[in-house]
Amino acid sequence: MPELPEVETTRRGIAPHVEGREIGEVIVRQPRLRVPVPGDLAERLVGARIGTLARRAKYLLLPLSGGEAAGATLLWHLGMSGSLRIARLGELPRKHDHLDLVLDDGAILRYHDPRRFGFVDWLAGCPEQDSRLAHLGPEPLSAAFDGERLYRLSRGRRVAVKPFLMDNTVVVGVGNIYASEALFMAGIDPRRAAGRISAERYACLAAAAKEVLAAAITQGGTTLRDFVGGTGEPGYFKQRLNVYGRHGQPCRRCGAELRLITLGQRASVYCPHCQT
């Protein structure tokens, strides 16, 4: 599933090609996504101009101006297998290319999603008031996220620290891959109760989460199966993973065999020697 670094990589990849461009045509090949494509999407979008792309958690936001679209926003989620890339006129769609925004310079913003768990939706009002965005926690690379916040919100919590870190009301976008990697970097056992971790260790965990996410964005995300960035290139952070997907292999730090467990219905790999 594309996580925050993959979505941010997508935003950075497509932004130079779509910002300031006018939408000349909308082609919907498959409207049955997780949220059905609005039936009047083409009518609303043709003639609209795309503003500065933004990202909130794993959502992409395309602000629009002009005509009926003035003040509206396209909310895009890549789901489990979705990707957005830039194509050109004459480039034939592939299987699972479900939606095209054809721009005034001949570029095409093309949505690909084999599992169809993603969606594109129309927001007429303020995006921050949409129910999917209103209750999200802070962005992990912002100053609003730090160890003090983790420590404060964790008091009295018996839930394991890994699902606590993955809770989008605590902080957005720290998914399974990057939570596993941050906990390894901070030396924290993912099974430990969130409420039994000290402020000092939470400061280390917040710093580790920021470091691993920033590094993943620099590397273009992590390609595990379907993900490619906005230019069609895969992400290379997979080469730097310390624990995720490496169960049964030796720890890169101490050589101990990495163990696989299940936490919050998600697979989790950790080092029993380095993480306590």
pLDDT tens for each residue of 119-162: 999 999 889 999 999 999 999 999 999 999 999 999 999 999 99
Q: What single DSSP character describes residue 48? A: -
Whole-angstrom distance, CA of residue 214 vs CA of residue 75 = 24
Q: What is the per-residue pLDDT across 27-78, written as a single tens digit (0 to 9) for each?
A: 999 999 999 999 999 999 999 999 999 999 999 999 999 877 889 999 999 9
246 is in an annotated binding site: no
Residues 140, 55 contacting (CB under 8 angstroms): no
Q: What is the pTM of this model?
A: 0.87
Fold classification of 147-270 (topology level): Helicase, Ruva Protein; domain 3 (1.10.8)
Q: Strand ranges (DSSP E) for the chain? A: 23-28, 49-50, 54-56, 59-65, 73-77, 83-88, 97-103, 107-112, 119-123, 259-263, 266-270
273 is in an annotated binding site: no
Fold classification of 4-129 (topology level): N-terminal domain of MutM-like DNA repair proteins (3.20.190)
Domain boundaries, the chain: 4-129, 147-270
Whole-angstrom distance, CA of residue 240 vs CA of residue 152 = 31
* Catalytically active residues, by annotation: 2-3, 58, 266
Lowest mean pLDDT among 28-42, 225-239, 244-258: 225-239
96 is in an annotated binding site: yes
